[in-house]
Structure 1
Amino acid sequence: MLSYPDIDPVLFSLGPLQIRWYGLMYLLGFTASYFLVKRQIAAFSFTQLRDQFENLNVVLILSVIVGGRLGYVLFYNLPYYLEHPLEIPATWSGGMSFHGAAIGLLAGGLLFCRWQRINFLATADLYAATVPIGLGLGRIGNFINGELFGRPTTLPWGMVFPGGGPVTRHPSQLYEALLEGVALFALLWLVRKRPWQNRRWWPHGSILSLFLVGYGLVRFGVEFVRQPDPQVGLVFSVVTMGQLLSGVMVAGGLGLWLWAAVRRRPDVTAP
């Protein structure tokens, strides 16, 4: 058994203001995505996005926060928030859903790109290649908070989490940080140029599709060792809510790739 490192979730305080590790991870994830997408815009000469890059980032940040919070409310704790609707905006009290954030990102990005006449799928590919960085950092933040821990295990790297009782549990946050973060980023960054070099087999939208499938498969697998949310348990007594939503992501990713491949035509909105 490994000892759980008891790290204070609060990085430092300035009077009543607290700077938390989890919030810092969000900031680092947004920052990394900002610079890596900007680098790709220059490398691929994507001039349309370059002109609206700053405005789009504002929209996407708001979409992540709103989508992540509403996703948690709707998917994971709707009865509670129906009784306490004034707590829905209280993101500082915890409760964000990645699947909700993903829906928010796609919806916000799609609306903005259509408004500004920017190729949405080409834009989504650039951002999708960078999203795993934020995911990995976010899981490290979950680990520091001692939340979203795994199910009981007898494996030698199991840990006793402060909020998980006296039993030894999987450090599932670290599994996700390595798989959703490091491994998925390495894969997507390796193939990020394909839609700009070989659209016959890699149409615009294929990096986004690969992200959806990759994340969905990883999350579905890790959910077998991650403790289900107590207020939800198993859906239909079979799968967790995370597995159900991840299965939808995998299907959506595969469907998007097939649709993009079928509709493939000379691209007039992106170089």
Structure 2
Amino acid sequence: MNPIAFELFGIEFRWYGIFISLGIIAAFILAYYNAPKRKVDFEKLIDIFIVAFPLAIIGARGYYVLFEWNYYSQHTNEIINIRQGGLAIHGGILGAMLGAFIYTRWKKIRMMEYADLVAPSIILAQGFGRWGNFFNGEAHGDIVSKEFISKFPAFIQKGMFIDGSYYQPTFLYESIWNILVCIILVWIYRNYNRDLKGRLFFAYVILYSIGRFFIEGMRTDSLYFMGLRIAQVVSLIGIIGGIIYIAIVTYRDKKNAF
């Protein structure tokens, strides 16, 4: 697939950036419609985004570069070039959380109230973003047979035909999983009548991590550290940490109810 969507005044506009932009727009639209359900101030969310988004990009790129340092130490001029991909979602989430923490502490507002609001939006944006990987020819799995890939739509077959071989469309699996998780989170946000207190955000962490753990095992472009797939390790930490957080908050709620 051609990673360049079009050129305007000599500037290349890549599908990767377009899908990230579409994901952000979709995320804001979803948050806008969800915010009134729990009387969350959407205007403050925009303020948080202005602080958190730059740190998310820095975190996503820094995380990727860190675990690919053998390459980037020899190509330092490419460290800030994100036009062709190389953004790691785990680093992006950490950067965004840092930005949100700084802003909410400064303004003395409840961070977790906004974390719960944006949880469905974040994973919706991730679902869009994986299609940017598709056009970049990345985030795919190992070689598969023509018979296997023939079960997918023709444009997927075309995109997964790279250097003379067909590849497992793991980007598609994760995109579908992300959309399904988004639907689940939206339902919980709009139908769970008690104060969420960050439980929805950590439900997002758990559900996304479950899907990512298994899908990551099929990918051929994983980041490694000491022979381990970093995304799988972080996913396990996310699952365990999320369960512990939800258990603690739920226990405290029940204790305070008596």
User: Does TM, scored on the shorter chain, surpass 0.5?
Assistant: yes
As a proportion of its length, which structure holds more helix?
2
Residue of structure 2 in register with 1:157 after alignment: 149
Partners of 1:88 and 1:255 in 2: how far apart?
Answer: 36
Deviation of the 1:66 alpha carbon: 1.1
1:21 aligns with 2:15: yes
Equivalences for 1:1-271 in 2 at 5 Å? 6=1, 8-46=2-40, 49-74=41-66, 76-154=67-145, 156-157=148-149, 159=157, 164-180=162-178, 182-194=179-191, 197-199=193-195, 203-229=196-222, 232=223, 235-237=225-227, 239-264=228-253
Give CA deviations for 1:120-146 in whole Å, capped at 9, x if unaligned: 111100001111211111111111221
Deviation of the 1:86 alpha carbon: 4.3
Task: Name the count of aligned residue pairs.
Answer: 249
- Contact 1:146–1:161 (Cα < 8 Å) also in 2: yes
Identity, % of aligned pairs? 25
Deviation of the 1:87 alpha carbon: 3.2
Shift in alpha-carbon separation, 1:138–1:168, aligned structure 2, 3 A: same
| Partner-residue secondary structure (3-state), 1:91 | coil
Partners of 2:177 and 2:137 in 1: how far apart?
Answer: 19
| Partner-residue secondary structure (3-state), 1:92 | coil
Partners of 2:226 and 2:79 in 1: how far apart?
Answer: 26
Partners of 2:92 and 2:161 in 1: how far apart?
Answer: 25
Partners of 2:58 and 2:96 in 1: how far apart?
Answer: 9
Shift in alpha-carbon separation, 1:161–1:35, aligned structure 2, 3 A: closer
| Partner-residue secondary structure (3-state), 2:86 | coil
| Partner-residue secondary structure (3-state), 2:138 | coil
Deviation of the 1:19 alpha carbon: 1.5
Deviation of the 1:161 alpha carbon: 5.8
RMSD, aligned CA: 2.5
Partners of 2:42 and 2:186 in 1: how far apart?
Answer: 20
Shift in alpha-carbon separation, 1:262–1:106, aligned structure 2, 3 A: farther
- Contact 2:127–2:176 (Cα < 8 Å) also in 1: yes
| Partner-residue secondary structure (3-state), 2:143 | coil
Partners of 2:161 and 2:60 in 1: how far apart?
Answer: 23
Shift in alpha-carbon separation, 1:211–1:30, aligned structure 2, 3 A: same
Partners of 1:263 and 1:84 in 2: how far apart?
Answer: 51
Give CA deviations for 1:221-242 in whole Å, capped at 9, x if unaligned: 112221134xx55x544x4222
Deviation of the 1:93 alpha carbon: 4.2
Q: Which amino acid aligns with 2:110?
A: N
Give CA deviations for 1:31-85 in whole Å, capped at 9, x if unaligned: 1121222222223222xx44523311211221221111111112x3123334444
- Contact 2:160–2:168 (Cα < 8 Å) also in 1: no
Task: Compute the TM-score of the two structures, normalised by the length of structure 2.
Answer: 0.86
Task: Compute the TM-score of the two structures, normalised by the length of structure 1.
Answer: 0.82
Deviation of the 1:174 alpha carbon: 0.8
Residue of structure 1 in register with 2:154 after alignment: none
Partners of 2:11 and 2:232 in 1: how far apart?
Answer: 36
Partners of 1:134 and 1:67 in 2: how far apart?
Answer: 17
Shift in alpha-carbon separation, 1:258–1:86, aligned structure 2, 3 A: farther
- Contact 1:160–1:167 (Cα < 8 Å) also in 2: no
Shift in alpha-carbon separation, 1:162–1:257, aligned structure 2, 3 A: closer
Structure 2 unaligned blocks of 5 or more: 151-156
Structure 1 range deviating more: 155-164 or 205-214 = 155-164
Partners of 2:79 and 2:3 in 1: how far apart?
Answer: 22
